[in-house]
């Protein structure tokens, strides 16, 4: 049966969807830009709402000091400082990353080119010796190009995200004077700008790359999609440095600011007297936004690459069915359109009027996008797939029906939602787990730490079952291709997921700016409410990132095993088992490095903040200004220096293991790191999130229970602050970076598989 969607239609649909995504994000950006951060000389003209209740609006505005020009000027000044700090850090980071990119690109070329001794003659194909394919040298060149493209797109994703976030933070603060709903919409729209730009850019660049490479490869699709895997490698390699570097930066500043400011000096968070306060706010942007953006872009690029590699040696690739071949990209195109509709629900269809509506509105985003996307996937599966086809399954072709593939994608999509909600249950202060942790602060910091750790370990249970079920279902239906598209299903609503995620740091910054600009208590309450919701959504975003990382790296692992021509991975052979046990250790080694880095950077920060409090006269009284720049510099230098060892660990491990011990041991290492990395990552990020929200629960004092623990400065509150400080590197540095460790090692092994298969295992060859 022919496919309903013709090749020409596919060629049009994918780029059009991407362009729609880009246009939509620019429209949102334009709407955000209409909030002015320059002081106005006269009262603003009545807006579209004035006829409804113009009178009341006006009264409230006067009362909240809407025409207080000093505040506006101050907000603009702070925003400028944050933006400059973030930009200068990212430029410094990208200089180092750029050098790494060049070196690694040369490595890819040399390793892959040497597979056939740099010969330019056509070779028999890997999976079908009767046909001839392009030489290994071509794969080397094109993989290198794809790697650079992936890396640049990843860097761009992070940078654009950071730009829009630093553009929107002060605008959110200023809108908060008009009410919580207005502020929410500005923060959410800005998040949407980032989400849609990233999803659309990733799709467009991948689509163009495939079409350009096709000019050379022609009918050799196996070689074409093998070289495309470089795109995923580039995306993730950059994400690793963005995540680790940004994570160390943000937490060094945060821990330093909290320890001296809150615990020693008893001044509130984000107090302008605290020298580390600008560095702390810059950190939110470089860690949670730029790092998160690159990370999810990496996942997206890799799951697409894994699916394409497996498809190219299945019936889609063998029979050259272009539409079915690009099924993964069609899902992403549909995802952009679905997320666009979903976003309108938050910004245009419903208006938020009260604080308690914020979190439900964000949760509705997830549910609406998942439900609509299920329908979207069904449509794509119906028009883009033949009713029956075969999928490559470790040497044999397995017959699959189109409805089975639909189920694979849907199971990934819904598993993502389940992981999101479980994460929310364990990290939101609306539910008992976090309230129990807050309650344990009565007896001091030790019990708080014990309860928090237990909560994190417990929160792993359901997500792992969700991942296990989706792996079983998708593998049973469509082998490794099923797992790759399940990962894509989880990431298909990436635009909405990222919008929700970027919303968190933006509202966090907005709160910081309100505090520093000396705005009234009521505005601070509004931004705090936005921020608490943002904390939970950030945890949901991390849950998504970790869950998808698990599926993505399993799919890449399958593609690697196929490419390296291993028929089975037998745990009982010593070669594999040593790999397994060492692989399981890697996430711990990696976490140790990142935690220690945050600790030592925070130590420098604490010393600097103390020095300023002790040596600058009039700082505590508020008559003298602190030296913010030194703190920003400490964070920058520490994170650049400290991101190199963990990065080297992740990047060198597959190369060393593959070259010295060969593909069997490497497959063990990948399996081990996947299995242990997921557990450590989920527990770390949920423990940290729970501690943070337990502290916010006590500070907000919204319930009778919370008031018995508070106010700020009470003993339980101090215990909660200690928990929060311990949790910071867990939830923002180690936890989220681990999912990159899992993915990056797998995709790197896949890219270098031809080399390892021919020349790997030197040690075992010698003996």
Decide if 395 is inside a domain. yes
Q: What is the pLDDT of residues 75-107, one digit of tens each?
A: 999 999 999 999 999 999 999 999 999 999 999
Q: Quote the DSSP letter at residue 568.
A: -
Decide if 100 is inside a domain. yes
Decide if 51 is inside a domain. no
Q: What is the pLDDT of residues 225-282, one digit of tens each?
A: 989 999 999 999 999 998 999 999 988 898 888 888 887 888 887 888 889 999 999 9
Place of tokens 């002015």: 36
Question: Exposure string (b/e) for 412-447, b if CB count within 10 Å is 16 or more?
Answer: bbbbbbbbbbbbbbbbbbbeebbbebbbbbeeebeb
DSSP string, 502-530: HHHHHHHHHHHHHHHTT--HHHHHHHHHH
Boundaries of domain holding 614: 16-37+81-766
- For residue 430, the model assigns a pLDDT of 86
Beta bridge partners of 397: 392
Decide if 499 is inside a domain. yes
Q: Which residues of the chain have pLDDT under 70?
A: 1-2, 40-67, 127, 767
Give the integer Cα–Cα distance in Å for 454 and 459. Answer: 9
Decide if 74 is inside a domain. no
- For residue 48, the model assigns a pLDDT of 46
Give the integer Cα–Cα distance in Å for 70 and 84. Answer: 21
Q: Quote the DSSP letter at residue 43.
A: P
Q: What is the pLDDT of residues 424-466, one digit of tens each?
A: 899 988 899 999 999 999 999 999 999 999 999 999 999 999 9
Decide if 7 is inside a domain. no
Decide if 391 is inside a domain. yes
Give the integer Cα–Cα distance in Å for 764 and 609. Answer: 54
pTM: 0.89
- For residue 41, the model assigns a pLDDT of 56
Decide if 744 is inside a domain. yes
Number of structural domains in the chain: 1
3-state secondary structure of 61: helix
- For residue 653, the model assigns a pLDDT of 95
Altogether, the residues listed in the chain come to a count of 767
């Amino acid at each position: 049966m022919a496919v309903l969607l013709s090749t020409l239609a596919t060629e049009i649909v994918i780029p059009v969807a991407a362009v729609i995504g880009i246009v939509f994000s620019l429209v949102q950006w334009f709407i955000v830009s209409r909030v002015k951060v320059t002081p106005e000389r006269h009262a603003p003209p009545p807006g579209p709402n004035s006829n409804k209740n113009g009178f009341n609006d006006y009264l409230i505005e006067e009362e909240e000091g809407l025409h207080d020009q000093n505040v506006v000027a101050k907000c603009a000044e702070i925003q400028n400082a944050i933006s400059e700090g973030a930009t200068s850090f990212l430029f410094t980071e990208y200089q180092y990353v750029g050098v790494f990119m060049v070196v690694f690109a040369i490595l890819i070329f040399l390793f892959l080119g040497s597979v056939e001794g740099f010969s330019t003659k056509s070779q028999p194909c890997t999976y079908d010796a009767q046909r001839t394919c392009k030489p290994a040298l071509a794969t080397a060149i094109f993989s290198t190009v794809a790697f650079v493209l992936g890396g640049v797109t990843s860097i761009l994703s992070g940078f654009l995200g950071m730009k829009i976030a630093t553009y929107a933070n002060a605008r959110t603060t200023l809108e908060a004077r008009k009410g919580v709903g207005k502020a929410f919409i500005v923060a959410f729209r800005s998040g949407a700008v980032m989400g849609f730009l990233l999803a659309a850019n990733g799709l467009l660049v991948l689509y163009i790359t495939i079409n350009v490479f096709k000019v050379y490869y022609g009918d050799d699709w196996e070689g074409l999609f093998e070289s495309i895997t470089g795109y995923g490698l580039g995306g993730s390699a950059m994400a690793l440095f963005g995540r680790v570097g940004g994570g160390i930066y943000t937490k060094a500043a945060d821990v330093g600011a909290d320890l001296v400011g809150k615990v020693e000096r008893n001044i509130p968070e984000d107090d302008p007297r605290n020298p580390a306060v600008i560095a702390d706010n810059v950190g939110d942007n470089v860690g949670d936004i730029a790092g998160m953006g690159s990370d999810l872009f990496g996942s997206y690029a890799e799951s697409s690459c894994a699916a394409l590699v497996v498809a190219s040696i299945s019936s889609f690739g063998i029979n050259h069915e272009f539409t079915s071949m690009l099924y993964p990209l069609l899902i992403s195109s549909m995802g952009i359109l679905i997320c666009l509709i979903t976003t309108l629900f938050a910004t245009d269809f419903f208006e938020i009027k009260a604080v308690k509506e914020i979190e439900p509105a964000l949760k509705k985003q997830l549910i609406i996008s998942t439900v609509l996307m299920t329908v979207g996937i069904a449509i794509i599966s119906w028009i883009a797939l033949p009713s029956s086809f075969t999928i490559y399954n470790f040497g044999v072709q397995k017959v699959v029906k189109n409805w089975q593939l639909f189920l694979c994608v849907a199971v990934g999509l819904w598993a993502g939602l389940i992981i999101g909600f479980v994460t929310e249950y364990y990290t939101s202060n609306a539910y008992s787990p976090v309230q129990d942790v807050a309650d344990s602060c009565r007896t001091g910091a030790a019990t708080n730490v014990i309860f928090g750790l237990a909560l994190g370990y417990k929160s792993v249970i359901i997500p792992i079952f969700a991942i296990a079920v989706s792996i079983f279902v998708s593998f049973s239906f469509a082998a490794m291709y099923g797992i790759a598209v399940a990962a894509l299903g989880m990431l298909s609503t990436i635009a909405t997921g990222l919008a929700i995620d970027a919303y968190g740091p933006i509202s966090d910054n907005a709160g910081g700016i309100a505090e520093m600009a000396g705005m009234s208590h009521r505005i601070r309450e509004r931004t705090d409410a936005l921020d608490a919701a943002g904390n939970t959504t950030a945890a949901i975003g991390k849950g998504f990132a970790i869950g998808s990382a698990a599926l993505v790296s399993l799919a890449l692992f399958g593609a690697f095993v196929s490419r390296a021509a291993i028929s089975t991975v037998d745990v009982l052979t010593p070669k594999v088992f040593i790999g397994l046990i060492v692989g399981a250790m890697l996430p711990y080694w990696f976490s140790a490095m990142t935690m220690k880095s945050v600790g030592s950077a925070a130590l420098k920060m604490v010393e600097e903040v103390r020095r300023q409090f002790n040596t600058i006269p009039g700082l505590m009284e508020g008559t003298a200004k602190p030296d913010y720049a030194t703190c920003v510099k400490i964070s920058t230098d520490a994170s650049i220096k400290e991101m190199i060892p963990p990065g080297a660990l992740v990047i060198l491990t597959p190369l060393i293991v593959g070259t010295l011990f060969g593909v069997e041991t490497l497959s063990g290492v990948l399996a081990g790191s996947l299995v242990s990395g997921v557990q450590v990552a989920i527990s770390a990020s949920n423990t940290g999130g729970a501690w943070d929200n337990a502290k916010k629960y006590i500070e907000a004092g919204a319930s009778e229970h919370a008031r018995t623990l508070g106010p700020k400065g009470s003993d339980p509150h101090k215990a909660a602050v200690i928990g929060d400080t311990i949790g910071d590197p867990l939830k923002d540095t180690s936890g989220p970076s681990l999912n990159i460790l899992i993915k990056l090692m797998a995709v790197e092994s896949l890219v270098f598989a031809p080399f390892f298969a021919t020349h790997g295992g030197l040690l075992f060859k010698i003996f």
